[in-house]
Amino acid sequence: MSTGKEYEKYKQLRITLEKMISDGAKSLEKLGINQHAEGLNTLAQKVAGETFRIMILGQFKTGKSTFINSFLGDEILPAYVTPCTAIINEVKYAQEKKAILFFRNPLPEKLPSEISSEIAEHIHKERENIPPIEIPFDEIEDYVVIPMGKELKESLLESPYDKVELYWPLDLLENGVEIIDSPGLNEHETRTRVTLQYLLNADATIFLLTSLAPCGKAEMDFIENNLHRSGFNDIFFIFNRFDQLPPKERDRLKNFGLNKLKGETSFGERGIFFISAYDALMGKMNNNLEQLEKSGIVEFEKVLSDFLINQRGKTKLTQPAKELKRIISEAIFTTIPGQKSMLNTSLAEIEQKYAEAKPRLEQLEVRKQQMSNRIELSIERMLPDIRRCIQDYFNSLNERIPLWLSEIELENEFQAMHPKESSERIITELLEKIQGKIEYEQLGWQNEQLLPVVSEKIEIMKEAIEANIENFYIELDNIKINIAGDCGQKIEGAKDVSAIERVGAAALGFFAGDIGAAAIGGNFGFSKTFFTQLATQIGAVVGMLLLGISNPLTMLPVIIGIAVVGFIRGKVGVIDQLKEKTAKGVIEELNKISGQSIEAIMGNVKDRVQEIGNGIIHGLESEISTVKEQVESIIRDIKAGEAEVANKRDVLEKCESNLVRINQDLDDFILALLQNN
């Protein structure tokens, strides 16, 4: 693969940074800066596990499986001719081929009849938190595809499977590329929510279309209503099966595709490609360079690798490199000089200074607890307004649903000869379309009403504690000076480091999935990623709760039960009556789930805000503990005698030398990373 070497270069850079972080952590451990050392160890693990996650989107029959195989250069995924991919497939690296099946939690109440005896036995051992199980690679189609002749919604509701992880020994995968094959976009709204959740952690989004029927309404609606409204704009569009068009139609399609989609991606025309996935696959597998070049995939791979490595990759490496530099700079210019100064102080003097500092450290503990209480109070104060916003949304749905249903243009017609069957088909269509409308409105409500309310409340919380955090660090630094003397050197760029960045670095180990202060945001606040994640989580919660109102298996009896005798006997206005009864049934079901939905959304908001608040408090605790640990360590060394003091000085010199080297290497690393194009 032409871009494989570029990914390999990135992998080597990642390994280099991981080693620098690990080496820095070892020095911090020797210095007794255990909290920061733990944070760096967590950061090293994160960097080691970094991959480029590529999400593949597209409707059924666009050739997604063939495209993925062509990108990877091997026939990993079966090119399904049976209906639809039902669950997520993740393609990753391993030396041996294998497939791991994961299960939903909780499981659906009703399981599919065609489930294998082995899987049934595995499930019944534990009905909750079922562990994944390895399955034969050549049998994955039995798990990830909707069976022939099976109703789509029924199958999705019954499926106990969450995802399949496929492992394959390919160089591209070994160098850090992962592929996520999503269910078709036209399969089900809940699966769409799963797709959007995966997109949060994707580094590249590839939207596959077919050249034979490009840019259908459902595709364009998904791009606008789901991707753009959820904040996903970095999209690569692939027109597959370009080779199947008559030559005279190809230029016309290119002009159409570029004009239609250049405004739908942040990449403009550079994000739109016309390829033959089949020719690309055959070209790679048969080492036919002419066929490969003709397929059109080579240029796409170049652009994709450039985007991943020089944009996403730089961020993935630069951010942790800067976190490492901030932490080791503090050790070099403040911590080590302070420890050297304390070693040159008599035991009596250092113990006296520490005794004088203890009440002030205890007071910082009190102030930290006060800040924790303020965060808790701020969260509790924000909840009533958030609850009111959510309740108003559900109330507005009750008013708008009848209007939405009345405006729906039906594809099914009422047949007087078969009143019950045709009524059920019409109601099913109405339910599917009203679900789509509700989800569309929900995205608008989240972005235009709910999240602004959350943002406003977070700003209030910021104002309540930001000054206190600044004062906390002023007092902490004064305590350090009083104990060790003002022997620390000026840290380059320190004036640009805010108190919240310092607490973010101190809480680095707490934010296991994020990177220190980046998880909080540069100006306290919360990062853009926080709001995107929150919006998608809310959407997933509401989507699951709304599933019942779009499921004919549960809603048809409700609506038919509401109906009066005779409304299905072909009377004039029967469609209006069906819409009226459907509206009444949907509203009744919404009213039943509204309380549950409100509590679920409230829980999501509260948990996410509380997570960041807890991180801030953890960081402050870490700072206090670090001061105590260092002083107490020096006191122990002095009490142990001159030999131990000499050994400590030697450790300090070696750690300083090592950290200075890492710091210099980091400067070269960051400069090379930023200059590399």
Residue 634, pLDDT > 80, answer yes
Cis peptide before 160 (omega within 30 of 0): no
* 566 Cβ contact partners less than 8 Å away, ≥ 6 residues apart: none
* 260 Cβ contact partners less than 8 Å away, ≥ 6 residues apart: 214, 215
Per-residue model confidence as pLDDT tens digits over 16-60? 999 999 999 999 999 888 878 888 898 898 899 889 999 999 887
Give the pLDDT band (50/70/90) at residue 189: low
Task: Round to whole Å and give the CA distance between 475 and 471.
Answer: 6
C-alpha to C-alpha distances, 626 to 359, 511, 619, nearest whole angstrom: 16, 18, 11
Q: What is the mean pLDDT of residues 655-660?
A: 96
- Side by side, the strands of the sheet bearing 204-210 are 133-135, 98-103, 161-168, 88-93, 177-181, 52-58, 204-210, 235-240, 272-274
Task: Round to whole Å and give the CA distance between 591 and 597.
Answer: 10
Our measurement of the distance from residue 421's CA atom to the centroid of its chain's CA atoms, rounded to an integer in Å, reads: 43
Stated pTM of the model: 0.80
Q: For tokens 């959007």, what's the residue?
A: 196
Q: What is the mean pLDDT of residues 621-631?
A: 89
CA 528-393-577 angle, to 5 degrees, is: 135
DSSP H or E stretch at residue 404: helix 347-407
Quick one: CA dihedral 312, 99, 537, 55, positive or negative? positive
pLDDT of residue 491: 47
Give the pLDDT band (50/70/90) at residue 577: confident
Q: For tokens 């990449």, what's the residue?
A: 267
Residue 607, pLDDT > 80, answer yes
Task: Round to whole Å and give the CA distance between 591 and 71.
Answer: 47
Q: What is the mean pLDDT of residues 321-340?
A: 89
Can you tell me whether residue 430 is helix, strand or coil?
Answer: helix
- Name the amino acid, one letter, at 299: E
Our measurement of the distance from residue 40's CA atom to the centroid of its chain's CA atoms, rounded to an integer in Å, reads: 22
pLDDT of residue 593: 80
Per-residue model confidence as pLDDT tens digits over 426-447? 888 888 788 778 877 877 888 7
Give the pLDDT band (50/70/90) at residue 81: very low
Q: What percent of the chain has pLDDT over 70?
A: 82
